Structure 1
């Protein structure tokens, strides 16, 4: 929902835009957008939300961030979304620290703070880079003192690379949440997508929704899985006990069989999917580490893209917030 971009040099004014779409409540995508243009070395910032589901209550901006308080139409829950861009040079970080301290202190409402901070939390988040341990330690202390959580990253180890044959890589992008946001759901996680033509990887905040025991919900993506058809055929196959059943009785009986059969099938599917994700994420990390000093950078890049494509297919079976 947030992004940075390179725009023309202009005043950093918060602006609102409404894209063409259906009325609220329709199935068509209807976006509202808030953004500030870039100024000098500072990239422009953008937040977009689907007005079918979200209402913007208020907005604010600083020199290094834009913020929007959003309310979910159906649940009436409110959270603050903040998009951050940290200065790439140390000379601009004093004002950044000041803004960040104030920003993270405003934590009464559930809050998500994400973006390109242009800083890491330690040497383990850098490779072939010249970092600043003092700034790393300050950033780490600031997060801890503000009672925010740095969500772990899946999909890759680093979020930025200079894409050289012996690349410099670092985790400059991250998503932080506060305690009220964590209490909404304890299963938040961040996944990194394919960077494509960019030198940064896009981040997605993902939540594994916890359903009440006994509730059955059929997922749309199941239809595209070959074994789903086999389960349905088995559940609706005629048997000898149905000889005296009415049409309604047969329908109710087979519907219950489908619920039980698909429930067991989906649990096994999820276990296999999660196991495969763990394997692919480890392969991704190994490939990124192997790129250092490797002569076959093109082949390594092709392998990484193939792994990311398969990971994205598995991630699509997860619930995205």
Structure 2
């Protein structure tokens, strides 16, 4: 099941099963980058210690799915309050806590003040620091015409985490299917990219591709031998495709722009009910995102080939990070002339 939606490089996982249609936690990782040790599995949380294969740095991840009510909620509160977080370790806690911290964490009047006091007391007791979500006030919607919006998803770190990883950010993504806003926790880095030409399989699905190929192939070649003419035509085709691809938008950019539109409409919905044409436009954009994601699937499928079996980590972020390190080491910042 996991292999059906995760890239092959994510070969390790831990989970807490769902109860009916609610709950459930799944964590997947690449064992060539991180070694993962499962510390706890609860009905409402999974705790894993990760160790970097690169520099042996250790950090702990806690992913929670807080119960809404009943005895399970009481057990979750008790477990979270007594969670042991040493002051000299790096911890990242995230997930759907199903708690509000303040009255303005929902767009409509209401909220349980006692729950807010309990949640804030736990945060203070554990000495956690909140990672704010950039540009969003709420993370959950009941998906009604006049929606109830709340912030139920939270991201916290230990004090040491902020010192070691000061560029940690939580970025909201477009809510395309779930009633929760997907979020991405990032630690920024920059990796140089190669400028070599690559043919992309998804080009076959784009308008204008066959016209470009046909016009290039019809050009006359001055080469004498048949094999030389074919090689010359392929070289000409490569140049034509390089020029053609500059005129098409990159998939990542298109998906990013569509998600930005969805994100903008989601944010607007926090202040007022969307008009009919705005709601319909969001549906159209979500449908377009699905088509773009299908093309992106073709893009990445090409990169999951037998070559990965031969060269291993070349397709991993760890390989990219090592390439960046070599790039920095080999670069010449300045020359001193005596």
Which bin holds the TM-score, normalised by the shorter protein?
Answer: 0.5 to 0.7
* 1:92-241 paired onto structure 2 within 5 Å: 92-103=72-83, 105-106=85-86, 108-128=88-108, 130-209=110-189, 219-220=192-193
**What residue in structure 1 maps to residue 273 of structure 2?**
292
Q: Kindly provide the CA deviation profile for residues 137-192 of structure 1, in whole angstroms up to 9, marking residues without a partner as x.
A: 22122112211111100243211101111001111112111112112111211111
Q: Distance in 1 between matches of 2:55 and 2:77?
A: 35
Change (3 A) 1:149 1:222: farther
Q: Name the TM-score, length of structure 1 as normaliser.
A: 0.60
**What residue in structure 2 maps to residue 52 of structure 1?**
32
* 1:236-251 paired onto structure 2 within 5 Å: none
Q: Distance in 2 between matches of 1:104 and 1:292?
A: 43
Contact 2:130 2:157 in 1 (8 A): yes
Q: Secondary structure in 1 aligned to 2:83?
A: helix
Q: Distance in 2 between matches of 1:222 and 1:129?
A: 55
Q: Could you tell me which runs of 5 or more consecutive residues in structure 1 were left unpaired when the two chains were aligned.
A: 1-16, 21-26, 210-216, 225-275, 310-318
Q: Indicate the larger mover: 291-300 or 56-65.
A: 291-300
Q: Name the TM-score, length of structure 2 as normaliser.
A: 0.57
Contact 1:165 1:297 in 2 (8 A): no
Change (3 A) 1:296 1:29: same
* Greater share of residues in helix: 2
Q: Distance in 2 between matches of 1:78 and 1:145?
A: 23
Q: Distance in 2 between matches of 1:286 and 1:222?
A: 38
Change (3 A) 1:49 1:70: same
C-alpha displacement of 1:92:
3.6
Q: Is 1:77 the equivalent of 2:57?
A: yes
Q: Secondary structure in 1 aligned to 2:26?
A: strand
Q: Distance in 1 between matches of 2:113 and 2:285?
A: 30
C-alpha displacement of 1:52:
2.1
Q: What's the C-alpha RMSD, in Å, of the aligned pairs?
A: 3.7
